[in-house]
Structure 1
Amino acid sequence: MPLSFPTCATHLPGYLQRLTPFLGIKAVFLYIVSMCCLCVCPAQAGVLQHYDVGVLALRGDQHADQSWRPTLDWLEETIPNTEFTLHTYDFEELDEAFEHNQLDFLLTSPGQATRIARQYPLNWLATQKTPYSSNLTHSIASVAVVRSDSPYLALRDIEYARVGAVSEKAFGGFLALRYEIEKRNVFGSSFFKRVKFYGPPTDNILLSVIDNDLDVAVLPACTLESMIKEGRIERHKVRVLEGKRPNDSICTVTTPLYPNWTFAKTDRASDSIGKLVTQSLLSMHESAYAAEAAGNVGWTLPASPVKVDHVLHQLDMHPLQRTWQEGFLKWLDRNQVLAFATFVVFMLMNIYHFWLEYRFKRSKDDLKKTLYELKERNEQLEHAQRTMIVSELGSSIAHEINQPLSTIKNYSEGLQRRIAQGMTPDELTPFLGKIQQQVTVASGIIQRLRGLIKQTPTDYVTCDPIFFIKESISLIEYDFQAQKIALNLIVEGEPLQGEFDVIGMQQVMINLLKNAKDACMASLDYEISPTVTIELLYGTHEVVIRVQDNGIGLAASENEVKKPFYTTKEDGLGLGLPICREVVEAHRGHFIIQAARPVGCEVTVVLPIKREQE
C-alpha cells in the first residue's frame, strides 16, 4: 500500500527544525511539499500489469477454466499489481496463438510444451507435482479403454477396431500409445490412418465407446478415474487394455509415465515476472485450493523432457529433426560429382526406357495389324473352303433336286391328262398335295445349300445332334451311292438336345464324311468292301460322334495332321480338319483323330451337353 502524507511528515530530519531560524517559512513549505511528492511517487508502481496465459483444454473449456483459474488467482494474490487472463485452446488454436505472439505464459502437456519449445523461445518455469504415483513429476500416459464385453484383450488385437482419440498431436491422448504400438511393430501404417480424431473434450470419446459407436478410446491418464469420480460413467462397464500401475500409480494406464504438465514463459513476458511466477508456483503448498482444483500437490523445478524428446524423435515428429528433403539437399551439396553422375545415368535410363516403350508400341501395333490380317484371311479361307465343299457336292445336290423336280413333272403331266379326261377338282386335290410336298423338299435342299455357302455369324440353336448328322448325310449320300461305299449310322443312348451351331456342325460332318469317302476310294485293297460308319453315342453330360472308315488310313503322324495347310490331295487347301477342330472347340468340345484298327482312320468328336431336368 502507498504511504500516507502524515507518515511522511513524521520523518522530517531533526536538523531541519534546528535550521528554522535560518530559513524562511517559504523554504520550509517548499521542502515539505517536495517530500510529499516523493512519498506519493511509489503509488505509481501500483498500476496493474496484464498477462495472457494459454491453457490446452483437453477436457473442454469449462473443465480447463475450473481446473486452472484458481492457479492464476494464486499468482495474482502472491504477485502484487498483476492480472492473469486465462485463454483455453485446442492444439491448432494454441499453435496459432504462438504464431501471432499472443501469449505471455503457457500451461500445457509435456508433448506440446516440448514441441513448441523447439520452435519458439520458451522458458520452462515449473512442473506440477501430482499425487497419482510415487514419482510426483510423472503422471502423463495413454490409456486404451474398451467396453467390458469387448473381444479385444490386448493392443495386438485392435488392428481393425474402430479407434478414437482426441488429436494426433495429443501426447498422453495418442502419441504415447502410438509410440508403444510402433515399438512393437505389430501393425502397418494403415492402422494409424484409420484412427479417428474427434478433438476436445476427451470425455465424449469414452462415452462413444460405451454407446458402441467406437471400439477403443485413447485417453490421457486419470481421465477414466476422473469421470468415474464425477459419476459420469460406471467402472464395471469398461476396462483398460494391458492396464498397469507404474510407480504405484493410482490411475490405470496402458503406457509408461511421462513428465507432468509444465508452466512456461514466452519471450513476450520479462524475465523479472517469470522469476516472480516461478517463486509463486514453488511456494504453493499442497493443501492450497489452487492445487486441489488442478489435481496436483504443488509445483517443483521443471522435469527433464528427454523421454518426451525420445518419443517425438522415434515418431519422426520432433521439430528439430531434419526432413528427408533437407537431408537430401545436404547430401547433394556434399556429393555434387556423384549426384551429377547419378542424374546423368537416370536421364539415360529414362531415355532408354522411352525408346523401349516406343519400340514396344510399334511392335504391338504391328502385331495387332498382323493378327487382324490373319483373322481376315482366315475368314476368307473358311468361306473359300465352304464354297469348295459345296462345289464338290454339286452332283449330289443336283441329284437330290432332280428327284423332286422329276416327280413334280410326272404329277403335272398326269394332272393334264386327267383334266382332259374330265376329272373333278376333288379328285385332283391329292395330286396337287403331292406336288406341294415335292416343292417343299426341293426348297429345303436349296435352303441348306444357302446356309452352307452364306458367311453368317455363329447362330446356336437347340436341337438333337441327330438332326445335323442326318442333314449332312442327306447332302452327301448320293456320292456314296455313286461310288458304292456303304454308309451306316448307329445311334446308342437316350436322345437329348443341346445348343449347337448347326451350320458349323454340318460343315464338320460333311468334311469328315468326304475325307472318309476319299480314303475309301484311295484304298488298293479290293478284298475289303469300302464302308464308312457314323456312331452317335448319348452320354450323361456329353455326346460322342465317331466317324470311322476302312480306307488307306493316316498318311502322316497325328501332329502333322493337326497343322493348318497340311494336305495329301493335289487340289486340297489343308484347311478342312483345322476348321473342323475350330468349330468343335467353339462348342468347348474335343476333336480327336487317330488310326483305326486294323485299317482306316477314326475321328472322334466329343461335345459337352447339359441334360435338362424333366
Structure 2
Amino acid sequence: MRLMPLFSIKAVLLFVVSFSCFCACPVRANVIQHYDVGVLALRGDDHAKAAWLPTLKWLESQIPNTTFDIHTYDFDQLDDAFRHNQLDFLLTSPGQATKIARQYPLNWLATQKTAYSSNATHSIASVVVVHDDSPYKTLRDIEHASVAAVSEKAFGGFLALRYELDKRGLFSRAFYKNITFTGPPTDKLLLDVLDKKLDVAIVPACTLESMAKEGLLKRHQLRVLDRKHPHDSVCAVTTALYPNWTLTKTERASNEIGKKVTQALLSLPEYSKAAAAAGNIGWTLPASSMRVDKVFQHLDMHPLQESWQQGLFKWLTKNQLITFAIVIFLVLLNVYHFWLEYHFNRSKKDLERTLFDLKEKNTMLEHAQRTMIVGELGSSIAHEINQPLSTIKNYSEGIQRRLDQGMTAEELAPFLGKIHQQVGVASDIVQRLRSLIKRTPSERVICDPAAFISESLELIEFDFQALKIGLKFTVEGTPIQGEFDYIGMQQVMLNVLRNAKEACLANLDWEQRPMVSVELLYGENDIVIRVEDNGVGLEACEKTVKEPFFTTKQDGLGLGLAICRDVIESHHGHLMIQPARPNGCEVTVVIPLKREQA
C-alpha cells in the first residue's frame, strides 16, 4: 500500500512526457520553409510576376511546407543581390546565369523548354527591329542610326547581336558607344520605334510577337533586319539561337531542396497553367552553356578571362628573377636617360655659344671684306666725289666774279641752287659708302633690282673707264619689285664686277677689247642677273672657286664669293659660275620673288 503513491507519481510523469512528445512531433513536421527566388524582369516587374508566380505556386504544391517568394530585378540589382547573398534560387537569361556561375557557386537545376523552334531548349536570340517604312534594310545600314537596347549586359537583347556584328566585321567601337541603354521594360523600345522616336531597337527573341499577340502593337508595323528562322523558329530573329532561361540554386539553399525543386520542375505538365503563363512547355535537364561561353570569350567579357594586366602581373610574380632584372634595367635606363639629357643640354649650350662666336667672326670678316672693296674702289669713289666738288668750285668762282660785277642776290639765286644740288649729290655718295661698310644683314627693302645694280655700276664705272674696260647693262622683261637686302646685293654686284675687272686685266690677249656685260632678266616668279666677261676665265672648278678662303690674288682674303653665296642663299636663291665662250667667265644669280607690284 505504501508503494501506491510512488507508482501514481511515476505514471503521471510518464503521461506528461509522452503527451509532450506526441504534441511536439506534429509541430516540427508543420514548420514552413521560405525560399527567395530572384527573377530577371526584362519586360517589367508586373510582367515577370505574372509569368513566373504560377510556376512557383506549382513548386509549393509539389513540395509540402515550402513557400517561394519572387523578387524581380534588373541586371545590376540582380548582381547586387548575389553579392549580398540574398537569394536561394535564380531564374534568368543564359548570359547572366553563365557569368554569375563563373563568379559564384551555382547549381544548374533545369532549363525550360519552348515550342518556338524544333530545338526545344534554344529560343534566346537578339532581334533588330525598325519601323516598316524605315530606310534601313540590313544591319550594314544602321551605323549612323539612333539605336537603343535594354542593357549592355542583356545577352539576347544586345550581346548576341554584338557577337554577330563582330563576326561579320561590321562597325567600329564608336558605333557601340552611341547605343542608348534604357533599362527595362523592353516593350518601351518597340513602342518608341513605332512612334518614330527611335530608329532601331535591339530586343530579345519573340518580344515582338508577344506584344502583337497581347494587342500592344500590330505586327506589320515593324520589320526585323536580316530576318531568319533558325531551327524553324516561329519568331523572326537576327542572330543564332542560344539556350533558354535556366533555374539555378545558390549555396544558401540545401541540396535536398534543390533536388525536390528539380523533380517538381521536370514533372511540370507541358500544357499546365504554369507552363502557359511562362510561355514554355515544361522543363528539362540543364542545357550546355558552351555556346554562351564562346560569345563571352570572343568579346573578351568572360569572368574567367584574365586581362592582359592580370596576366602580366601573374607572369612577373612567377618569374621573380626576371622581374627583378627588368626593374634594375628600367632604373639603369632612367639613370642613363638623365645622364644623356644632362650632357645633351650642356653640349647644346656649348654649340649655341660657338654659333654665336662664329656669327660674330663672320660679321667681322664681312666688314673687313667690304672695307677692302671700298679701298679697291678708291679711284672710282674719288672720281664720284670729285665731280660734285668740281661743280661746286666752278659755281662758287662764277658767283664770286658776278658779285664783283655787281649782280644782285636775285640774279645769283639759280647758281646757289645748283651748288646746293651738288652738295646733295656728294652727300648721297658718302651715305652709300657708309651704308656699304656698316650694313645691317636683316635690313630688307621693297625695290626694283635694277636700282641696286645701277648704283653698283655707278660706283665702279670710272674705274672701268680709266682701265679702258667696256661696261654694258641691259634689261629684259617686265620689271618686278621684290624684297631685297639692298646693301647686301650691292656688295654681291661689286664683288662680281671687281672679279670680272681683274679677269679682264689678267688676259694678255688684247686682240679684242676687254668687256663686261651685265644683264637683268625679269621672269614670272624670279629674276636672273648675269655678269659675263671675256677675261682669262676660271682657274679652278666651280665648287673650288666658291669655297671660303680660295683666292688667286696675292693679297686676297678668299671671302668674296663665299659672302656673295651667303647673301644670295638668304634670299633663297642660288649662284652659278661657268666658263663663257669663246673665253671668259659667266656668273649667274637666280633669286625667287614673291611677286609684289610691277
1:114 pairs, out of 98, 116, 122, with 98
Q: Does 1:567 align with 2:551?
A: yes
Aligned-partner SS, 1:462: strand
Aligned-partner SS, 2:492: helix
Q: Does 1:200 align with 2:192?
A: no
Query: Which one is further off, 458-467 or 146-155?
Result: 146-155
Distance 1:116 1:396, change over 3 A: same
* Aligned equivalent of 2:583: 599
Which structure 1 segments of 5+ residues have no match? 1-22
Matched to 1:109, the amino acid is S
Aligned-partner SS, 1:264: strand
Distance 1:225 1:484, change over 3 A: farther
Correspondences of 1:61-72 after superposition (within 5 Å): 61=45, 63-72=47-56
* Aligned equivalent of 1:54: 38
Q: Does 1:390 align with 2:374?
A: yes
Distance 1:193 1:590, change over 3 A: farther
Please give the per-residue CA displacement for 1:417-460, whole angstroms capped at 9, x wherever unaligned.
54555544443332333233223323332333333233425344
Please give the per-residue CA displacement for 1:150-182, whole angstroms capped at 9, x wherever unaligned.
577456x87888765544433223333444455
Residues 163 and 194 of structure 1 are in contact (CA less than 8 Å); yes or no, is this contact kept in structure 2?
no
1:428 pairs, out of 388, 412, 424, with 412
* Aligned equivalent of 1:240: 225
Distance 1:512 1:115, change over 3 A: same
Correspondences of 1:352-391 after superposition (within 5 Å): 366-391=350-375
1:470 pairs, out of 444, 454, 479, with 454
Identity of aligned residues (%): 66
Distance 1:572 1:326, change over 3 A: same
Matched to 1:240, the amino acid is L
Query: Which one is further off, 441-450 or 199-208?
Result: 199-208
Q: Does 1:507 align with 2:491?
A: yes
Matched to 2:155, the amino acid is F
- Displacement of 1:552 in angstroms is 1.4
- Displacement of 1:402 in angstroms is 3.1
- Structure 1 Cα separation of the partners of residues 500 and 109 of structure 2: 108
Matched to 1:520, the amino acid is C
Residues 176 and 311 of structure 1 are in contact (CA less than 8 Å); yes or no, is this contact kept in structure 2?
yes
Correspondences of 1:21-420 after superposition (within 5 Å): 42=26, 49-61=33-45, 63-72=47-56, 74-75=58-59, 82-144=66-128, 153=138, 165-183=149-167, 186=169, 190=173, 194=177, 196=179, 198-201=181-184, 202=186, 218-226=202-210, 231=216, 238-241=223-226, 243-322=227-306, 324=308, 327-328=311-312, 331=315, 366-419=350-403
Aligned residues: 586
* Aligned equivalent of 1:548: 532
- Displacement of 1:499 in angstroms is 3.1
- Structure 1 Cα separation of the partners of residues 468 and 194 of structure 2: 95
Task: Calculate the TM-score normalised by the size of structure 2.
Answer: 0.82
- Displacement of 1:269 in angstroms is 2.8
- Structure 2 Cα separation of the partners of residues 69 and 450 of structure 1: 109
* Aligned equivalent of 2:3: none
Matched to 1:305, the amino acid is S
Residues 107 and 263 of structure 1 are in contact (CA less than 8 Å); yes or no, is this contact kept in structure 2?
yes
* Aligned equivalent of 1:527: 511
Distance 1:377 1:159, change over 3 A: farther
Aligned-partner SS, 1:450: helix
Distance 1:69 1:432, change over 3 A: farther
Distance 1:204 1:460, change over 3 A: farther
- Displacement of 1:67 in angstroms is 4.2
Matched to 1:397, the amino acid is I
- Displacement of 1:489 in angstroms is 0.5
2:572 pairs, out of 583, 588, 597, with 588
Please give the per-residue CA displacement for 1:175-195, whole angstroms capped at 9, x wherever unaligned.
3344445556x4798568746
- Structure 1 Cα separation of the partners of residues 218 and 594 of structure 2: 66
Distance 1:85 1:199, change over 3 A: farther
- Displacement of 1:339 in angstroms is 5.9
Aligned-partner SS, 1:544: strand
Aligned-partner SS, 1:106: strand
Distance 1:130 1:560, change over 3 A: same
- Structure 1 Cα separation of the partners of residues 422 and 50 of structure 2: 111
Distance 1:237 1:258, change over 3 A: closer
- Displacement of 1:42 in angstroms is 4.2
Matched to 1:169, the amino acid is K
Which structure 2 segments of 5+ residues have no match? 1-6
Residues 469 and 506 of structure 1 are in contact (CA less than 8 Å); yes or no, is this contact kept in structure 2?
yes
Residues 168 and 197 of structure 1 are in contact (CA less than 8 Å); yes or no, is this contact kept in structure 2?
no
Matched to 1:454, the amino acid is K
- Structure 2 Cα separation of the partners of residues 93 and 57 of structure 1: 11
Query: Which one is further off, 61-70 or 403-412?
Result: 61-70
Aligned-partner SS, 1:591: strand
Aligned-partner SS, 2:551: coil
Matched to 1:466, the amino acid is A
Aligned-partner SS, 1:547: strand
- Structure 2 Cα separation of the partners of residues 354 and 210 of structure 1: 65
Residues 146 and 209 of structure 1 are in contact (CA less than 8 Å); yes or no, is this contact kept in structure 2?
yes
Residues 60 and 200 of structure 1 are in contact (CA less than 8 Å); yes or no, is this contact kept in structure 2?
no
- Displacement of 1:533 in angstroms is 0.4
- Pairwise CA RMSD of aligned residues? 4.1
- Structure 2 Cα separation of the partners of residues 496 and 443 of structure 1: 29
Distance 1:307 1:499, change over 3 A: same
Aligned-partner SS, 2:420: helix
Query: Which one is further off, 72-81 or 469-478?
Result: 72-81
- Displacement of 1:326 in angstroms is 5.6
Distance 1:323 1:465, change over 3 A: closer
- Displacement of 1:314 in angstroms is 3.9
Residues 224 and 238 of structure 2 are in contact (CA less than 8 Å); yes or no, is this contact kept in structure 1?
no
Aligned-partner SS, 1:490: strand
- Structure 2 Cα separation of the partners of residues 362 and 86 of structure 1: 76
Distance 1:348 1:538, change over 3 A: closer
- Displacement of 1:531 in angstroms is 1.2
Residues 240 and 252 of structure 1 are in contact (CA less than 8 Å); yes or no, is this contact kept in structure 2?
no
Matched to 2:547, the amino acid is K
Q: Does 1:608 align with 2:592?
A: yes
Residues 439 and 487 of structure 2 are in contact (CA less than 8 Å); yes or no, is this contact kept in structure 1?
no
Q: Does 1:518 align with 2:505?
A: no
- Displacement of 1:485 in angstroms is 1.6
Aligned-partner SS, 1:98: helix
